[in-house]
C-alpha cells in the first residue's frame, strides 16, 4: 500500500472515530485508570478533569496555587467524581519531583497524562525578556519536564497509555499565519526522521537570545503572538519526537502521544474573548485520551480531526 493510500485509510479511520460516541468505544479504562491533568483549577483543564472523571476514571487535578486547586477539586468531589488534588508548579523542578514521588506512593503509577498547564503572552512593542522566557519555560520546558518525570510512572497497558499535549494552531510549522521564514530551520523541524529534542531546544534558545539582544523582529520569527507561537511550535515538535521514541517500545508498553488545539476558548487566558466554551475546548483532549487502541500517535488534532503540523 502506497503512502497516499495509507494516509487515506488513516483519515477514514479518524473520520469514523469522530462519529462514535464514547459509550460505543471499546472501553479500555476503569475506575482504576489514573489520569493526571496539569493546570486544572479552571478553564479547559478543569473541564478535562470533569469529563474524564465523568467517564469513570480517577483523576488527579493539579494546580500551581494550592487554594485554587483544592477548591476546584472540592467542587468536583461534591458532584460524586473521583478527583484528587496535588499542588504542582511546572516551572519548579522540586515541585515536579515531589509530585512524582507523591503519585508513586499513593497510586503506584498513572495511565494518562494531559499537559494543560500554560500561559498566553503576546510579544509586542512592550515585550520584556522576562515575559518571553516565562512563556517558553511554562509552555515548552514545563510540558517537557513534567512529561519526563511522569513517563517512568506510566503503567503498561494492552490498549496503550496516553499523553495529550495542549497546543495551538499558532504553533503550526506550515500555517498561513505566524510562519517561520528560516527555511533551514523549517526543514529540520519538518523531517520526522532527524528532528530531535536538541534541535527544538536550540530553536527556543536562539529565539530567547534574540529577544534579549533586541534582534528577534528581524530573525524570521512569526510577528504575531511570537513568544506563544514559538512555545507551541516547540510543543508540537516535541510531541513528534516523543511519539517516535515511545512507539518503538514493545507491545503492551507503548505510550501514544498527541497534541491538539482547543480553539479560541472563552477563558481567563483569552480574557474571555473566545467563541468556544471550556467544555468544547476540552472535548478533543478527552477524546484523544480515551480513544480505543488505534495506535494513533505523533499527530496534531483540532475538533477531533487531524490537521497538519
Contacts of 53 by beta carbon, 8 Å cutoff, 6+ apart: 59, 76, 81, 82, 83
As a whole number of angstroms, the distance between CA 267 and CA 251 comes to 39
Contacts of 143 by beta carbon, 8 Å cutoff, 6+ apart: 90, 115, 117, 118, 165, 235, 238
Place of cell 498566553: 120
H helices within 151-224, ranges in order? Answer: 183-190, 197-213
- Backbone region of residue 60 per phi and psi (left: phi > 0; alpha: psi in -120 to 50; beta: other values): beta
Partner residues linked to 276 by β-bridges: 265
H helices within the chain, ranges in order? Answer: 3-18, 43-54, 66-77, 93-107, 129-136, 143-150, 183-190, 197-213, 226-247, 278-290
As a whole number of angstroms, the distance between CA 229 and CA 120 comes to 9
Cell of 91: 516551572
Active-site residue (options: 141, 228, 256, 260): 228
Cell of 15: 473520520
> Is 107 tagged catalytic?
no
Catalytic residues: 228
Amino acid at each position: 500500500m502506497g503512502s497516499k493510500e495509507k494516509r487515506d485509510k488513516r483519515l477514514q479511520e479518524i473520520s469514523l472515530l469522530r462519529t462514535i460516541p464514547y459509550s460505543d468505544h471499546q472501553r479500555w479504562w476503569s475506575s482504576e485508570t489514573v489520569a493526571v491533568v496539569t493546570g486544572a483549577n479552571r478553564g479547559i483543564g478543569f473541564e478535562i478533569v470533569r469529563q474524564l472523571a465523568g467517564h469513570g476514571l480517577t483523576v488527579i487535578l493539579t494546580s500551581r496555587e494550592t487554594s485554587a486547586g483544592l477548591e476546584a477539586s472540592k467542587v468536583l468531589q461534591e458532584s460524586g467524581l473521583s478527583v484528587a488534588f496535588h499542588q504542582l508548579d511546572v516551572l519548579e523542578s522540586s515541585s515536579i519531583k515531589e509530585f512524582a514521588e507523591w503519585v508513586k506512593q499513593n497510586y503506584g503509577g498513572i495511565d494518562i497524562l494531559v499537559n494543560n498547564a500554560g500561559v498566553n503572552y503576546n510579544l509586542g512593542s512592550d515585550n520584556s525578556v522576562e515575559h518571553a522566557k516565562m512563556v517558553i519555560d511554562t509552555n515548552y520546558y514545563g510540558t517537557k519536564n513534567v512529561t519526563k518525570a511522569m513517563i517512568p510512572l506510566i503503567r503498561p497497558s494492552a490498549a496503550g497509555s496516553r499523553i495529550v499535549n495542549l497546543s495551538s494552531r499558532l504553533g503550526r510549522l506550515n500555517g498561513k499565519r505566524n510562519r517561520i521564514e528560516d527555511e533551514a530551520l523549517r526543514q529540520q523541524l519538518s523531517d520526522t526522521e532527524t528532528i530531535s529534542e536538541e534541535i527544538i531546544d536550540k530553536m527556543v534558545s536562539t529565539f530567547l537570545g534574540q529577544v534579549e539582544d533586541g534582534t528577534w523582529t528581524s530573525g524570521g520569527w512569526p510577528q504575531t503572538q511570537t513568544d506563544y507561537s514559538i512555545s507551541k511550535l516547540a510543543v508540537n515538535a516535541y510531541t513528534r519526537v516523543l511519539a517516535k521514541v515511545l512507539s518503538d517500545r514493545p507491545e503492551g508498553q507503548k505510550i501514544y502521544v498527541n497534541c491538539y488545539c482547543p480553539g479560541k476558548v472563552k477563558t481567563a487566558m483569552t480574557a474571555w474573548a473566545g467563541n468556544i466554551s471550556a467544555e468544547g475546548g476540552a472535548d478533543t483532549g478527552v477524546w484523544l485520551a480515551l480513544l480505543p487502541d488505534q495506535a494513533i500517535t505523533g499527530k496534531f488534532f483540532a475538533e477531533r480531526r487531524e490537521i497538519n503540523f
